[in-house]
Structure 1
């Protein structure tokens, strides 16, 4: 049985998630990754490579690699699986084991597998770190194990990329990214990088990994990390901070094969890469905006929500009257609303769509595509608001009601809710 290393603990807060996202190039426009109060705040999928670092650092490579020098270690490949949604703060526990050691002649590839769980024992991430250690000889086997997706070649199709995204890294990219836990001096200390054979410190391979996966997720996954099943990449060439990365993507069903080119040197930094979605990948450039997503025609009630009768009444009100009256109602409001309600501070939100922008108007259970305004509020406060027993301005000023999108459209909410009051005793 392979020796188990760890367990090691990793405690983090929302601040650590935002710091990681900034380290891989997220901006203030990416609120779901950098702002803890955003309704969709969640870790970037590639944050999953961070919690295992304590286990990696505690693994005694010198015990089984004679003459091991950490300055001669280069990250060769990375494979990441996402199993269960990671909390936005808490404690994660990682254990690791050596999966394979491959003799490459001029060095060895050591593959370490790590499993990261939350405090309840749910598997959150599985990683395989493939590290090439130069100068170590006559250790390991001559051919690596076939580990399925972790060793897939992911060769690009013989056609032009389906999508291309460019992003210029900053001179301080490595200095910022290292604050998330990868403190190898190779990436910041010129004296140490020169020992590794580089005139100046290079960018972390996992930073390029995060930047490029972010590109794929934005273009084909609507920036929704919950859609990601796995990510794999090979680090073919180094990147210097300040260089421009171009991610070239090919959509193949639920897999997006990609590679990353350094434009200044026309060098492929990441190859044989793929991001696999749970479902078919979507092309963000081809998606239609404005209309609400289709939902099942089974009413608008959600189990456990006091607000269900409110939306049932609102649905009846909006769908009442002649076609001309309904068109006039939509023409007066001209807004697509999404309501995100929770039954407790720790519960996941349930969404309703109130469409007073398209067609004759409608109310559906489920999220909207590109809503004009999203209202975030508790189930109890929404019911009180709908019944006229709570003041929207006071809820807003007290932080109990949040509005994302066009704030002025939220001013029309009271007239919208009045439609429900006319149809039911709330």
Structure 2
């Protein structure tokens, strides 16, 4: 079996030094659609270095890419075909606001391997800390088709209840045709998002958008719509990737009023495909 769950979980953590500056933050913001209109004051806080605020989801690419997915495939006990790999879910906990410029240590390990029958799910957790202490904890769920069925733990199955009542706000965000090409410059070089031949081998008609790009676009929509750009209020953010997004489509982002615990429920769908879900079980926790 290409995945040895026991070996993968038992492997020693890997520690990498990561660094970023304002150029990395600005490139990420552009990659998730910031800067339209280019001179709009609300957009300049994402694009102009003298006003720069860091959207918390930048943590998923800080230091050069999506470590949860790529690092998980390079761990002991794992030997799989990249064409069978999908990003299944993402969680992020912020211990402090992400600084515009930083240098930190990222400690990553696989904490679980779940047997879903027709697929395996790898859980890769990354703890990031700088000289002042913990910055964020990142957790990626990596879905590997065709690698289940060995009789292992199926993992948690509980899902949050659907939000009650209608959303308080709904906004639409257009995905540009070149969105994936720009987003991948932040470090996720998976050819699924750029190479038509590879995308067809993976079962798609054309390259699709990175799930983490949709993840970032969604958080920006929530921060801009409900928080007036106050990025520091975000304490945690998690989602399940329920479907793909094709560049050129339009996202419909529905947001519910924060509950008593400060949790904002969000649902995201492809407006051009009869509101087919693309992000599900999405929660933004506020402080």
TM-score where L is the length of structure 2? 0.88
Q: Any conservation in 2 of the 1:7–1:95 contact (CA below 8 Å)?
A: yes
User: Match for residue 148 of structure 2?
Assistant: 137
Matches within 5 A, 1:89-128: 89-118=101-130, 120-128=131-139
User: Match for residue 275 of structure 1?
Assistant: 284
* RMSD of aligned residue pairs (Cα, Å): 2.0
Q: Any conservation in 2 of the 1:107–1:133 contact (CA below 8 Å)?
A: yes
1:43/1:139 Cα in 2 relative to 1: closer, same or farther (>3 Å)? Answer: farther
Matches within 5 A, 1:335-350: none
What SS is found at the alignment partner of 1:199? coil
| Correspondence for 1:183 among 164, 171, 189 | 189
Q: How far did residue 135 of structure 1 move?
A: 1.2
1:183/1:60 Cα in 2 relative to 1: closer, same or farther (>3 Å)? Answer: closer
User: Match for residue 23 of structure 1?
Assistant: 31
Asked if residue 192 in structure 1 is aligned to residue 236 in structure 2, the reply is no
User: Match for residue 11 of structure 1?
Assistant: 19
Per-residue CA distance 1:34-54 (angstroms, 9 max, x = gap)? 11111xx22111101113747
Q: How far did residue 143 of structure 1 move?
A: 2.7
Per-residue CA distance 1:358-395 (angstroms, 9 max, x = gap)? xxxxxxxxxxxxxxxxxxxxxxxxxxxxxxxxxxxxxx
Larger Rg over CA atoms? 1
Is there any run of 5+ residues in structure 2 with no aligned partner, and where? 1-8
User: 2-side partners of 1:170 and 1:152: how far apart?
Assistant: 35
User: Match for residue 81 of structure 1?
Assistant: 93
Q: How far did residue 99 of structure 1 move?
A: 1.6
| Correspondence for 1:33 among 35, 40, 46 | 46
Q: How far did residue 76 of structure 1 move?
A: 0.6
User: 1-side partners of 2:17 and 2:115: how far apart?
Assistant: 32
TM-score where L is the length of structure 1? 0.60
User: Match for residue 207 of structure 2?
Assistant: 201
Q: Any conservation in 2 of the 1:215–1:247 contact (CA below 8 Å)?
A: yes
What SS is found at the alignment partner of 1:64? coil
What SS is found at the alignment partner of 2:273? coil
User: 2-side partners of 1:23 and 1:55: how far apart?
Assistant: 17
What SS is found at the alignment partner of 1:264? helix
1:44/1:210 Cα in 2 relative to 1: closer, same or farther (>3 Å)? Answer: same
User: 2-side partners of 1:2 and 1:257: how far apart?
Assistant: 35
User: 1-side partners of 2:20 and 2:151: how far apart?
Assistant: 36
Asked if residue 49 in structure 1 is aligned to residue 55 in structure 2, the reply is no
Q: Any conservation in 1 of the 2:61–2:67 contact (CA below 8 Å)?
A: no
User: Match for residue 313 of structure 1?
Assistant: none
Q: How far did residue 77 of structure 1 move?
A: 0.7
Q: How far did residue 271 of structure 1 move?
A: 0.6
User: 2-side partners of 1:184 and 1:33: how far apart?
Assistant: 25
| Correspondence for 2:231 among 225, 228, 231 | 225
Q: Any conservation in 2 of the 1:161–1:250 contact (CA below 8 Å)?
A: yes
Q: Any conservation in 2 of the 1:8–1:54 contact (CA below 8 Å)?
A: no
Q: Any conservation in 2 of the 1:55–1:95 contact (CA below 8 Å)?
A: no
Q: Any conservation in 2 of the 1:260–1:270 contact (CA below 8 Å)?
A: yes
What SS is found at the alignment partner of 1:37? helix
Q: How far did residue 183 of structure 1 move?
A: 1.0
Asked if residue 64 in structure 1 is aligned to residue 77 in structure 2, the reply is yes
Per-residue CA distance 1:158-189 (angstroms, 9 max, x = gap)? 32111101011100000000011111110001
Work out the number of aligned pairs and report it: 269
Q: How far did residue 64 of structure 1 move?
A: 2.0
1:140/1:102 Cα in 2 relative to 1: closer, same or farther (>3 Å)? Answer: farther
1:165/1:152 Cα in 2 relative to 1: closer, same or farther (>3 Å)? Answer: farther
Per-residue CA distance 1:212-260 (angstroms, 9 max, x = gap)? 1111111222211110110011100000001000101112231110110
Higher relative contact order (Cα pairs below 8 Å, separated by 6+ residues) = 2
1:113/1:3 Cα in 2 relative to 1: closer, same or farther (>3 Å)? Answer: same
